[in-house]
Amino acid sequence: MIDVTLIGTGGMVPLPDRFLASCLIEYNGKSILIDCGEGTQISLRKGKLSMSKIDTILITHCHADHISGLPGLLLTIGNNGRTEPLNIIAPRGSAKIINSLLIVCGYLPYEVRISELHDTKPVEFEQIGLKITSIPLNHHINCVGYSMELLLKSHFQPDKAEKLNIPVKFWRTLHNGNNVTVDNKTITPDMVLGEPRKTVKISYVTDTRPVKNINDIVKKSDLFICEGMYGDDTQYDNAVKKMHMIFSEAANIALEAEVKELWLTHFSPSMINPEDYINFAQNIFPDTYIGHDLMKKTIKN
How near is the Cβ of 72 to Zn ion at its closest, in Å? Answer: 18
Does 17 participate in catalysis according to the annotation? no
Q: How many CB atoms lie within 10 A of CB 113?
A: 11
Q: Which is nearer to Zn ion, 200 or 205 (CB)?
A: 205
Which one of the spans 97-105, 158-166, 199-207, 278-286 is the region binding Zn ion (CB under 5 A)? Answer: 199-207
Q: What is the DSSP string of 1-69?
A: -EEEEEEE-BSSS-BTTBPBSEEEEEETTEEEEE---TTHHHHHHHTT--STTEEEEE-S--SHHHHTT
Using the rule CB under 5 A, give the single segment among 3-11, 122-130, 153-161, 215-223 that binds Zn ion.
3-11
CB of 8 to Zn ion, least distance (A): 11
* Phi-psi domain of 285 (left: phi exceeds 0; alpha: psi -120 through 50; beta: other): beta
How far is residue 25's CA from residue 16's CA, in Å, rounded to a whole number? 24
Residues 241-300 contacting Zn ion, CB under 5 A: none
Number of residues that bind Zn ion (CB under 5 A): 4
Distances (CA, A) of 223 to 22, 36, 49: 15, 21, 20
Residue from 207, 222, 249, 293 in contact with Zn ion (CB under 5 A): 207
Q: Which of 35, 65, 207, 293 is catalytic?
A: 65
x/- mask, Zn ion, residues 33-72, rule CB under 5 A, reads ------------------------------x-x-------
CA trace torsion 17, 18, 20, 26 (10° rounding)? 90
Between CA 250 and CA 258, with CA 254 as vertex, the angle to 5 degrees is 170
x-or-dash pattern for Zn ion, window 218-237, by CB under 5 A?
Answer: --------------------
Among residues 217, 65, 230, the alpha carbon closest in space to that of 145 is found at: 217
Q: What would the x/- binding string for Zn ion be over residues 8 to 27, using CB under 5 A?
A: ---x----------------
**Nearer to Zn ion (CB atom), residue 22 or residue 248:** 22
Looking at beta carbons, which residue is closest to Zn ion? Answer: 63
Q: List residues binding Zn ion (CB under 5 A).
A: 11, 63, 65, 207
Q: Which active-site residues does the annotation give?
A: 65
